[in-house]
Structure 1
Amino acid sequence: MDGVHDLGGKQGHGPIDVHEPVEPFHSEWEARAWALSKSIGGGAPDITIDWWRHVRETTIPVDYLTRPYLDSWLETDMVTLVDSNLCTVEELATGKSATPAATKAISISVADAIAMNRASATDFSRPFESKPKFVAGNQVIAHQNTSPGHTRLPGYVRGRTGKIYEHHGAHLFPDSVAKGIDKAEHLYTVAFAARDLWSESQNSTDVIFLDLWESYLDSR
């Protein structure tokens, strides 16, 4: 989505702290938030990851920018659960279910939980009959189009020239899947020179690699 939720390449938010502690969570509630999110699969079972991201991107800007990261995750999970009629706002507010349990609760070990999480990875690749529009080495330019919904095309590369680094076959197209449309497109890794993206990087040799779908790109 275009707006405050697309923070990539934006200025004015201060330096990024690259000296985070080695512990995976800052406090106990974050660990519990992570566990809750993973235990319900990141939201209601009838939604896709792209719809989940779209829901998160509808958070009002001041809330999105000030709410802790994993707290924002939980907020999104809860919205999708209510939207899918799996629970009510009242149940979430009280922490007590007002409906019979759908299944019997089970107890599993941490090792089993980790194994289940690893086994739950989703393959988003799809067979595709049409040939890719681009091959490695082609010069491309990213679209400048804005998007009223979810998109994986960050604002800082729009209208900028890059080079196809690799083709990955066809994968589900997030912009469509977020709307419930099962559509696939060719997916590429595109290399952008940092000096072509930000004026203060004119002497930089850094390169940014982004995975972008075919409809995001035009021939240069």
Structure 2
Amino acid sequence: MDGIHDLGGKLGYGSVDVNEPEEPFHYDYEGRMWAMSRIAKAPDINIDWWRHVRELIQEDDYLNRPYFDSWAQTTIATMIDSKVFTTDELASGVSATPPLADVLEVDYEGVLQQNAEIAFDFSRPVDTEPTFSVSQTVVTNKEGHSGHTRLPEYARGKTGVIHSYHNAHCFPDDYAKGKPSAQHLYTVAFTATELWGADANPNDRVTLELWEDYLAPK
């Protein structure tokens, strides 16, 4: 969906601090929040639904809320939506129902290390052959939609070249709706001038991982 989360190519939001310290977390709660997001998930929550819920945060709140604070807001919202707990339980800090399973004591630093060693695989088998081939020229869709998508606004209606092919992967636009479909996935290269206009460096390139539904032959 189009919203404040899709800031690529937007002007007026200030510069990016490239000299920010390299530590992953600035406050203790951020590490705990990251660990909670990895272990506290309902069965019907997937990464694309989680991302879409985060995209629904109101603009002022989204821009002013610290990054991992928005993660907390999103995780809580998905848990309430999935009936893992209620708003009353959240406010009181006390569960009104028995736990679904034995509660395990978890060391969040251990969770961080465990997840750092895991490579999630979102590839899926499909029965169709890929529509596009490496070095083929393609054009991206011009229009977005109201749901979750991985095609950023700045790259819509733009011409690029297939750089590489990655087999089929979960299609985010459908996965966010609970539809477990998959599509062929490509890395598409765009010139900076195609994306940003004549003032951009003609030697620069931007690559995006894009699914087949986002593309059409040029």
Q: Deviations over 1:124-155 (max 9, x none)?
A: 11112221111110111111012110000000
2:168 corresponding residue in structure 1: 170
Aligned residue among 90, 93, 112 for 2:91: 93
Aligned equivalents of 2:113, 2:38: Cα separation in 1: 13
Aligned residue among 52, 55, 58 for 1:54: 52
Instruction: Supply the AA of the counterpart residue of 2:135.
Output: G
Identity among equivalent positions (%) equals 50
What SS does structure 2 have at the residue aligned with 1:17? coil
Aligned equivalents of 1:110, 1:70: Cα separation in 2: 15
The answer on 1:6 being equivalent to 2:10 is: no
The answer on 1:32 being equivalent to 2:42 is: no
Instruction: Supply the AA of the counterpart residue of 1:36.
Output: M
1:29: how far off?
2.1
Determine if contact 2:8/2:153 at 8 Å carries over to the other structure: yes
Aligned residue among 182, 185, 191 for 2:183: 185
What SS does structure 2 have at the residue aligned with 1:52? helix
- Count residues with an aligned counterpart: 218
Are residues 26 and 109 of structure 1, via their aligned partners in 2, closer, same or farther at CA, if it must alter by over 3 Å?
closer
Instruction: Supply the AA of the counterpart residue of 1:209.
Output: T
1:94: how far off?
2.2
Aligned equivalents of 1:111, 1:35: Cα separation in 2: 8
CA root-mean-square deviation: 1.8
**Please, what TM-score do these two structures have when normalized by structure 2?**
0.92
Gaps of 5+ in 1: none
Aligned residue among 203, 206, 210 for 1:205: 203
Instruction: Supply the AA of the counterpart residue of 1:206.
Output: D
**Please, what TM-score do these two structures have when normalized by structure 1?**
0.91
Aligned equivalents of 1:22, 1:115: Cα separation in 2: 17
2:151 corresponding residue in structure 1: 153
Determine if contact 2:35/2:112 at 8 Å carries over to the other structure: no
2:78 corresponding residue in structure 1: 80
